[in-house]
Amino acid sequence: MSRSDFSSVKRVVVKIGSSLLTKGGRGLDKASIAAWVEQMAGLRQQSIDVILVSSGSVAEGMCRLGMKVRPKVLHELQAAASVGQMGLVRVFDDNFQKHQLHAAQVLLTHDDLSNRQRYLNARSTLLTLLKFGVVPVINENDAVATEEIRFGDNDTLAALVANLVEADLLIILTDQSGLFTGDPSVYPDAELISEISVNDRRLDEVAGDSRSGLGRGGMCTKVRAARLAARSGAATVIAAGVAENIISSVIAGDFVGTYLLPDIEPLVARKRWLAGQLQVKGRLVLDAGAVRMLKDRGKSLLAVGVKSTSGSFERGELVSCVDEGGLEIARGLINYGSVDAQLIVGKSSSEFEVILGYFDDSELIHRDNLVVI
């Protein structure tokens, strides 16, 4: 996807760093937040889904608590995050309301995206919010996350969210104009890299660590994030958050910041991930009608087209779909565990609630989570 193709983007993840949000640690920059929200509201008017990943809760909490240096003790960081999150969410919500938009706070830990069931639950929640026209405001759950379950930085979180919702584009707003051929503070003749492949090895040489002391990221984490986002086919732009109308300029295809191109198209990336990266936990035998729906029409798999199941699997785990002769037709992430799946095979989704006592999804496997082999 070239910059000129950004007009076709339908879903964007915007990540804003701590130093931007807090004016270098002096408190929330409400004027800049209002400007970014106005631009994101403009994207919603263009029918573009927007997910915001916001840093700044710890930095804002430090300001409120009078801390001059970022704490190193985990519980002090958690306390600062708890205090700062209040102000951060309030400012975003107030500004989105001015544009007749609702915002929703979503706090995530690494477990939410590494555990398959919680991954699917998080995905379903975010997609439902987007369906209602809500702008999710996502942050790491710093108030409770321990070192063992931290993402490490919100650049990584933003990339994983881009994977989660299959975004077309990840925009990382920072206090730099983008990636340069060298550190501009050391090499005055360093040049902005306008466009580069996400896996170009030169990136490892030019990306440096954070110098602000407010966040946990630097250009190296942004490069890693771009590579993570590329796994699901998302492109990444790293740009200066202080530039006027920066989000709108990126979507317009203007040559601002650094554009990191993914190696593969989204559909191919998704297929590679589903087909080769996960362990198959169970098997579904499909009738001839279901096989035709999957192979010829690209439909979701409904329980009514399944004749039997085998294996032990949980919601969100990978299962193999075979025809009645045992030939593998597809693989996908199943929406029901093996015990419940056995009860609803061959049944219409209208019967699920009576049979199971609850209703989650009408499809056994949604087409977005299914790849035909």
For residue 71, what pLDDT is reported? Answer: 83
- pLDDT the model gives residue 183: 77
Token pair in block for residue 318: 């990978």
Q: Is residue 269 part of a domain?
A: no
Cα 320 to Cα 331: distance, rounded to the nearest angstrom: 5
253: left (phi over 0), alpha (psi -120 to 50) or beta: left
Same domain, 260 and 318: no
Task: Assess whether 21 and 155 both reside in one domain.
Answer: yes
What is the model's pLDDT at position 217? 47
Same domain, 33 and 77: yes
In a domain, 272, yes or no: no
Residue 311, Cβ neighbours under 10 Å: how many? Answer: 14
Instruction: Give residue 189's pLDDT.
Output: 87
Last residue of a domain, one of 236, 264, 292: 264
**Domain range enclosing 97:** 3-264
User: Both 304 and 158 in a single domain?
Assistant: no
- For the chain, which ranges sit under pLDDT 50? 148-149, 210-217
Looking at the fold, whether 357 and 244 belong to one and the same domain comes out as: no
Question: Which strands form 235-240's sheet, in the order they lie side by side?
Answer: 103-108, 135-140, 49-54, 11-16, 169-174, 235-240, 258-261, 195-197
In a domain, 180, yes or no: yes
Strand partners of residue 309: 284
List pLDDT tens digits, range 29-86.
Answer: 999 999 999 999 999 999 999 999 998 888 888 888 888 888 888 888 888 888 888 8
Residue 27 is predicted with a pLDDT of 79
| Together in a domain, 238 and 91 | yes
The answer as to whether 283 is a domain residue is: yes
Instruction: Output the domain CATH number for residue 294.
Output: 2.30.130.10
Torsion angles phi and psi, residue 363, rounded to 5: -100, 145
Task: Give the pLDDT confidence of 88-105 residue by residue, as tens digits.
Answer: 999 999 999 999 999 999
- The total number of residues shown for the chain amounts to 373
What is the model's pLDDT at position 80?
A: 86
